[in-house]
Structure 1
Amino acid sequence: MLKALILVGGVSSRMGKDKYLLNVNSKPQYIYLAELLKELNIPIYISCNKNQQNNIESRFDVIVDIFQGVGPMGGIASAFELDNNVDWLVIACDLILIDRATIKFLISKQDEPSDIITFIKRDSDFPETTITIYKSSTHSLFKQAIADKSYSLQKILRKCKLETINPPEKNKLWNANTPIELQEAQKFIKGLNL
């Protein structure tokens, strides 16, 4: 079984405001992503920190980070604490150009004989870590990483049987972490809508 986890728990220090509340796609970003996933009939959870919990609309299931201050690792490890018998499709809230077709393409690879399935990054040869399927077989690695205080998702990827795929459109993996990156992405969106 596959469940979806939308990561919103970061502090957004480089952006200067909460990325999950950015209104880029005509609604707060976490709602935009949840609605994309809802169309794919996947159970959806919003991964957030304690301070954000009250900002998430009550219609959404929430997983509050058990492991605070360790980045995306904490959100994913917390999801495995909730349910370690499923595969988790993880999507970060700063992927503001992601679309249903790209997500469906990733999901279509779920049956590959691997522990993790992910895309190659838009702007490098490294694998993505936050538009990724982490299979239940990785649960023990997350537990160990938390115990070792080793919070790098790239290290988890290197310890697993990894399946990397090219996205149908690389620009759909655009991360907006700073105001300048957000402005560039918004220009790109406007160009698409002309």
Structure 2
Amino acid sequence: MTTQDNPATLKGLVLCGGHSTRMQEDKSNIAYHGMPQWQYLVSLLQSFLPEVYISCRPEQVPGFSAYPNLVPDNVPFGGPSAGLLSAHALQPATAWLVLACDLPLLSKQSLELLIRSRNTTTAATTFVSPVNQLPEPLIAIWEPAGLAMLQENVTAGKNCPRKTMLSTTITLLENPYATEQFNANTPEEKAEVLSNLRL
């Protein structure tokens, strides 16, 4: 595991590989802020990090052809673990600040807090979910050791990033901007967000 004195290089990863079944349209392309959501999140991450990547399924690659840093899923399973572990396989010494694509209210203030509070001696740094008080695995900094542990768990049939976090030592933060952790997963939630953003 890395230390605070010798941290792994931190890069950004926006997870766009989900099927958006409940939303009934690609969540990464919804324009909450006048641009596709993936572009909004990439822009947020680029405010802090020099390298930001997009995780997607192989069949999505043509839709992101204008963006140079793509990580197509290259593992024999789906879900968010596929994106995390495909990035880890590509750059195993890298720490990744991971964002799900369905976070329309996220802003720089939450990311600044997360990065400032990063603890490289633990497997990950993340926020407490205001919904269930559990760790947020997809608004998180995953250290290489944490991703290696996720790989071990997935190989053993435990394909759940949150359960990996719960099984190891992580840095868990209370976010004073916890409303920014809202996930928009349905057309109704999309409409609610758009209505609130217009106020």
Residue 125 of structure 2: aligned partner: 117
> Equivalent residues in 2 for 1:25-174 (5 A)?
25-111=33-119, 113-174=121-182
TM-score (norm 2): 0.91
Q: Residue 5 of structure 1: SS of its match in structure 2?
A: strand
Is the contact made by 1:120 and 1:167 (CA closer than 8 Å) also made in structure 2?
Answer: yes
State percent identity of aligned pairs: 28
TM-score (norm 1): 0.93
CA deviation after TM superposition for structure 1 residue 132, in Å: 0.5
Is the contact made by 2:150 and 2:161 (CA closer than 8 Å) also made in structure 1?
Answer: no
Q: Residue 13 of structure 2: SS of its match in structure 1?
A: strand
Q: Residue 131 of structure 1: SS of its match in structure 2?
A: strand
Provide runs of 4+ in structure 1 moved above 6 Å. Answer: none
Partner Cα separation in structure 1 for residue 126 and residue 28 of structure 2: 22
Runs of 5+ consecutive residues of structure 1 not aligned to the other structure: none
Aligned residues: 191
Runs of 5+ consecutive residues of structure 2 not aligned to the other structure: 1-8
Partner Cα separation in structure 1 for residue 116 and residue 189 of structure 2: 29
CA-to-partner distance for each residue in 1:87-111, whole Å, 9 max, x for gaps? Answer: 1110000011101111111011113
CA deviation after TM superposition for structure 1 residue 25, in Å: 1.0
Is the contact made by 1:49 and 1:68 (CA closer than 8 Å) also made in structure 2?
Answer: no
CA deviation after TM superposition for structure 1 residue 69, in Å: 4.4
Q: Which amino acid aligns with 2:192?
A: E
Q: Residue 83 of structure 2: SS of its match in structure 1?
A: helix
